[in-house]
Amino acid sequence: MADPVLKGQELLDALAAEGLADWQGFPDGLRTRLLTRTFAAGLDLVARIGELAERRDHHPDVRLTFPHVDLTLISHDAGGVTVRDLRLAGEISALAREAGIAADPAAPVMLELGLDTAARDRTGPFWAALLTGDAGAVDGDDVVDPSGRVPTLWFQGTDPHDVPRQRLHVDLWVGADQAEARIAAALAAGGIIDDDSEAPSFTVLADAEGNRACICTIAERG
């Protein structure tokens, strides 16, 4: 039997209980950015993480660049974050601390596109083909690129309406403790709060012309 999946507020509580301040919870797993500063330091850290992952038979997604290393952890067999991910996250953070490498908790984000549509079955294949090259890359209400090249596009059911109403909007997922700062930055740049009745799960913002976008977190979600 697979380990139970932790999500939403339960995942946030587990991160706090384990003292994993270096990591943020997202719908697609745990994420962190480690500030390696140099490519050589990043390469060495990735090698050590690789050895640890092999011993644990549990492997993170890793992106190595010149100034930092990005990691995502998820238990694919369980379809979400489990205690195995929390355990490996703690061990990775310990490796980073031993190497004098700090994390940037504000850095991890996840971008999604939301499309209002009353005709998902007709529009879905078009967007799947456009974004991924495969018209069949539709999973429920989502267009999903298994290679991770493009953001997820999800379909929000709505009544039929004329085109001038905004149909496509951006969902930006941030760490639960980063939402307030990101919203403040958007407001300072001329935005307004359109609806915060579901905060902290999501807050709807609008630009000067009324175009809407959502800042989303896993806080207070099941």
Q: Residue 221: inside a domain, yes or no?
A: no
173 and 126 in one domain? yes
97 and 126 in one domain? no
- Alpha carbon distance 187, 189 (integer Å): 5
What was the pLDDT predicted at 212?
A: 86
Rounded to two decimals, what is the model's pTM?
A: 0.86
204 and 161 in one domain? yes
Average pLDDT, the chain: 92
Q: What is the CA radius of gyration of the chain?
A: 19
Question: Which of 180, 106, 116, 118 is closest to 153 using CA atoms?
Answer: 116
Domains held by the chain: number: 2
211 and 116 in one domain? yes
pLDDT digits (tens, 9 = 90+) for 135-191: 999 999 999 888 888 888 898 888 876 655 677 888 999 999 999 999 999 999 999
- Domain of 59, in residue numbers: 8-103
Q: Residue 3: inside a domain, yes or no?
A: no
Question: Do 22 and 105 touch, CB atoms closer than 8 A?
Answer: yes
